[in-house]
Structure 1
Amino acid sequence: MDTQLIIVAAVVVLALAYVTRATWRTWFGPSEKTGCASGCGACKTTPVAASPEDRKRIALPQV
């Protein structure tokens, strides 16, 4: 086989493996989601006490 063909085949196989892994992790990821990205809304309802240093800061307006 030609060297270029081997390199191209390896790149294609690696790309397919990457797409397959990403799809697998999307569909069959962990069943229990933790953290702020779970979409349960608990992060918004649980207020966090601001430290004294944070109270001195002026928040930037969000546009």
Structure 2
Amino acid sequence: MEIILMFAAGIIVLIIAVLAISRGITERIRTRDVNVKKKIANLENRIDALESKKR
């Protein structure tokens, strides 16, 4: 009986670990995406400023 309970507890812990890893990966991807968009917007603004200085 104890072996069955330990097996069930192990499966629950495994499921929780897989969910945590998948959420961590998706959060990293989202954060990276937002940072890249901010950097691109910043570079576009700098390009516009430099082009306006040339005129």
Deviation at 1:32? 5.6
Provide TM-score, normalisation by structure 1. 0.44
User: Unaligned stretches of 5+ in structure 1?
Assistant: 39-63
1:7-57 Cα deviation digits (max 9, x unpaired): 000000000011001100001236268xxxx8xxxxxxxxxxxxxxxxxxx
- What is the correspondence of 1:15-26 to structure 2 with a 5 Å cutoff? 15-26=29-40
Segments ≥4 residues shifted beyond 2 Å: none
Q: Please, what is the CA RMSD of the aligned residues?
A: 2.8
User: Unaligned stretches of 5+ in structure 2?
Assistant: 1-14, 51-55
Identity %, equivalent residues = 6
Name which structure has the greater RCO, CA cutoff 8 Å, separation 6+. 1
Q: 2: CA distance between counterparts of 1:32 and 1:24?
A: 14
